[in-house]
Amino acid sequence: MSDHAMTAEELLVPGRPGLVSVILVTFNERENILNTVENVFCHVPDPLEIIIVDDDSPDQTWQVVADLQDARVKLVRRVGTRGLASAFLRGIIESRGDIVVWMDADMCMPPELLPRMIAMLKDSDVVIGSRYAPGGLDVRHPIRVCASRLINGFASFVLGYDIKDYDSGFVVVRRTVFDKVLPIPTGHGEYFIEFIYMCCRKGLSVHEVPYTFTDRTKGASKSFRNIWQFGVLGTKYAVRILRARFRHLD
């Protein structure tokens, strides 16, 4: 399936009742992916499927996943296409659960929090794993924490709705959410800010659950390779936030 051929109708396929779909996007996560998959299986009961979208990792993460040979794990290897936001959208399209989860594959986000987040869907449409809600914690390098808090502070100021962790990237949603809001498959973490903002604007119930975000212990960060690249990424976030807000001035 070509990413360019994706349609809204493909996102609106009715979900299988009770099935939880967990989406993991990977690029050079060979050292982490097995631990992440095992931890998801350990904490989320069946029926469960894990969709792993890999952008043809040079370290052959895709081969590690293929070797699992587990019917509950679906591998999508994208060759010639890259991008975090579009990869998550591809995973959503491939998913079939009426509950959809997406999170990082580097073990920085705790799979043990998923049962609580899923249970909260009884009273919510969207549940965000939040580093900055009361009780949450971000224990990464101080520079990264400062930058993240600045982005989230700016997003909260411009967009409103009292969301503490707009660029979390750790979320559980009802599939019916996609009837009203479709993720825009461009950018890095900016897509998540806009997705959450539009969920709020559409009147969906969005709640945050605190957790402790730890830094990866294996592999290299995709967003903090150097100060220059980090600054460019922050600027893109700010521009995306302003565009999202001023696109909807009513």
User: Over the chain, what is the mean pLDDT?
Assistant: 89
User: And the tokens for 49?
Assistant: 């499927």
Do the beta carbons of residue 77 and residue 169 sit within 8 Å? no
**What pLDDT, in 10s, does the model give residues 148-162?**
999 999 999 999 999
Could you tell me where the DSSP H helices lie in 72-172?
84-94, 114-119, 142-159
State pTM to two decimals. Answer: 0.89
User: And the tokens for 193?
Assistant: 């800010």
pLDDT at 2 over 70: no
Q: Output the pLDDT for position 235.
A: 84
Domain encompassing residue 224: 3-246
What is the spatial distance between Cα 54 and Cα 75, in angstroms, rounded to a whole number? 8
Greater confidence (145 vs 247) lies with 145
Q: Output the pLDDT for position 65.
A: 97
pLDDT at 244 over 80: yes
**What pLDDT, in 10s, does the model give residues 216-231?**
666 555 555 556 566 6
- pLDDT (average), residues 81-105: 95
3-class SS of residue 174? strand
What is the spatial distance between Cα 103 and Cα 88, in angstroms, rounded to a whole number? 9
Question: Residue 1's pLDDT band (boundaries 50, 70, 90)?
Answer: very low
- pLDDT (average), residues 166-190: 93
- Percentage of the residues of the chain whose pLDDT score is greater than 70: 87
Nearest CA to 222 out of 83, 111, 87 is that of 83
Question: Residue 5's pLDDT band (boundaries 50, 70, 90)?
Answer: very low
Question: Residue 13's pLDDT band (boundaries 50, 70, 90)?
Answer: low
Q: Output the pLDDT for position 219.
A: 58
- pLDDT (average), residues 8-35: 86
3-class SS of residue 208? strand
What is the edge-to-edge ordering of all strands in the sheet holding 73-77? 73-77, 48-54, 16-26, 97-103, 171-174, 126-130, 206-210
What is the spatial distance between Cα 86 and Cα 25, in angstroms, rounded to a whole number? 10
Q: What residues have CB less than 8 Å from 131, skipping those under 6 apart? A: 137, 138, 148, 165, 168, 210, 211, 212, 213
Domain total of the chain: 1
Q: Output the pLDDT for position 7.
A: 53
Asked which of 12-26, 80-94, 127-141 is least confident by mean pLDDT, the reply is: 12-26
Domain containing 230 — which CATH number?
A: 3.90.550.10
- pLDDT (average), residues 161-166: 96
Q: Output the pLDDT for position 229.
A: 67
Question: Residue 233's pLDDT band (boundaries 50, 70, 90)?
Answer: confident
pLDDT at 145 over 70: yes
Asked which of 12-16, 136-140, 147-151 is least confident by mean pLDDT, the reply is: 12-16
pLDDT at 96 over 80: yes
